[in-house]
Copies of this chain bind each other. A is one copy, B any other.
Amino acid sequence: ATITESKSFSTTVKAPYPGHKPDKLTHLHFYFHDIVSGDKPTSVQVANGPTTNSSATGFGLVAVVDDKLTVGPEITSEEVGRAQGMYASADQNKLGLLMAFNLVFTKGKFSDSTVAMYGRNPVLSKVREMPIIGGTGAFRFGRGYALAKTLVFNITSGDAVVEYNVYIWH
């Protein structure tokens, strides 16, 4: 039986076997809309620490997110996918989020493929780099990095638009 048909718990084969050498570099450019206000927020708080409300950085806040990704900076421009996952406010001094997100693409040739992003987002820095640590479908075995730059932050509503440039070797 080949490696994919084996029914036992585990089967290990030595090289040569179908391996995966990255042979493509893809650049994705989109806008990420973090909506915390209104009646249909796409980013909601699910947990907090004992001092989150008194902390200057909201340390301990945990949120679950299903943020819209669009082609252009306007939230009404064409949707290309969603950023689905969680973030935690994990820096007691300078606003810094642990980001655990899957970028789920819903349009075009990458539809139904996902990119796994996982890293630290010092939100107030001009450009933030976060690792791409994996992917599925077209992005299987993907690795690379995302660069995030805040385009708009609405102080009163708390909503934000962040421009993403993602580079994936897959």
Identify the A interface with B (CB < 8 A): 3-4, 6-15, 17-20, 22-30, 42, 44-52, 59-62, 64-66, 71, 80, 82, 84-86, 88-93, 96, 98, 100-102, 104, 107-110, 114, 116, 118-120, 129-137, 140-141, 143-145, 165, 167, 169
Is B82 within 8 A of A91, CB to CB? yes
Known: A25-B3, A98-B84. A30 touches B50 (CB 8 A): no
A-side interface mostly: strand
Within the complex, the shortest CB–CB distance from A5 to chain B, in Å, comes to 9
Q: Name which residue of chain B comes closest to A25, CB basis.
A: B17
Q: Which residues of B contact A92 (CB under 8 A)?
A: 42, 66
Is B100 within 8 A of A98, CB to CB? yes
Is A100 within 8 A of B102, CB to CB? no
> What are 10 A-B contacts defined by CB distance under 8 Å?
A11-B26, A14-B23, A15-B23, A42-B92, A46-B48, A46-B61, A64-B98, A102-B120, A118-B118, A119-B136
Q: A45-B50, A118-B134, A119-B134 are in contact. List 4 more A-B contacts (CB 8 A).
A: A15-B24, A19-B25, A102-B120, A119-B136
Q: Which residues of B contact A26 (CB under 8 A)?
A: 10-13
Within the complex, the shortest CB–CB distance from A19 to chain B, in Å, comes to 6
Question: In whole angstroms, what is the CA distance A119 to B102 when docked?
Answer: 6
Is B109 within 8 A of A90, CB to CB? no
Q: Which residues of B contact A80 (CB under 8 A)?
A: 9
Question: In whole angstroms, what is the CA distance A135 to B93 when docked?
Answer: 21
Within the complex, the shortest CB–CB distance from A124 to chain B, in Å, comes to 14
Known: A10-B110, A84-B96, A118-B118. A64 touches B49 (CB 8 A): yes
